[in-house]
Structure 1
């Protein structure tokens, strides 16, 4: 009986996330100016699993990592480098395109880091649009907005330096 209720809860949660994705995509098509605000306020929860290997190594798996990269229109390598640097650990993409990170991290850890990434590398500050393009010019990264035309330099990702 408990297994059925857990399965039902999981199905409802998956349905809610699918509805949220559909609303977000419709909003992106019809009102792109609102997408930036929505992207920050309604980040669907990262799906995080914990794995323990036979050697006792603890790993955290960010299951819907590629969904976030596609939604933000960012290169997965750049997002992964940011997350790993901020978490202060090592990781890689597995065969299923999930981010596997060494160590124990929570859903909240990933959620707060993704919000920081969006503010630093995705969102245009003046107009709050997410139509900004990240480019590298003369060894510096620039964020140029496709909507208002403004641009700003962004900090490079610092390897081996993080919040933890």
Structure 2
């Protein structure tokens, strides 16, 4: 049937030829290997000397030295020093914190804010002696905080440590070179660090434990009666 033969011829794609590309690639790879061996042999023949071997401690020292050279303030830890609180008795029921305004100036914090914190933590009443001591940052040397109650210098010192940790120290770099600003939108205080640029919202001042005295009980009875 000639028609069938013609169809077979039309659809005859011919015999499958083997590609020579693979053989050529293999040959090229073989040539490259030979060249590589030659290069490797040349490299092995080159004279070289072994460099110094550093221990872990030596490498760690070098790393810290590089960090200190690039960032001088990061590698060193600055110590924050304050004068100890000084208190004197005023009568039989009050205590005067003599160098209170001076400590506020050293911490660079508003006197009103520190007074609010002290009164809330001690749960007592008090006021600043002298009109010149009511300025925002630091007051006159004669500024004293008069507290109702009997408080020793060690009580004031522990209170200052708590205040410094919450409202002065930066949580990122532990630096005391910070500023306290009040956000106008949230009305919350924000601690901003001058060294690393970090900022955080400080906790709001909450009233601490307030002991009920004989005068408070007497006033409560009079109010009921």
> Do they fold alike, i.e. is TM over 0.5?
yes
- Name the CA distance, whole Å, in 2 between partners of 1:94 and 1:34: 37
Which position in structure 2 is the counterpart of 1:126? 172
Picking from 59, 82, 91, the partner of 2:117 is 82
Once the two structures are superposed, what CA deviation does each residue of 1:11-64 show, in whole Å capped at 9, x if it has no partner? Answer: xxxxxxxxxxxxxxxxxxxx8x644x333xxx3221100111xxxx50010000
Greater strand content: 1
Once the two structures are superposed, what CA deviation does each residue of 1:100-152 show, in whole Å capped at 9, x if it has no partner? Answer: 00011111110000011001001111111111111111212111111101111
Which position in structure 2 is the counterpart of 1:94? 129
Q: How many residues end up aligned between the 2 structures?
A: 124
**Gap runs ≥5 in structure 1:** 1-30
Which position in structure 2 is the counterpart of 1:27? none
- Name the CA distance, whole Å, in 2 between partners of 1:118 and 1:163: 20
**Gap runs ≥5 in structure 2:** 1-72, 131-141, 211-225
Q: What TM-score results when the alignment is normalised by the length of structure 2?
A: 0.52
Picking from 39, 45, 51, the partner of 2:84 is 45
CA RMSD of aligned residues (A): 1.9
Runs of 4+ in 1 over 3 A off after TM superposition: none
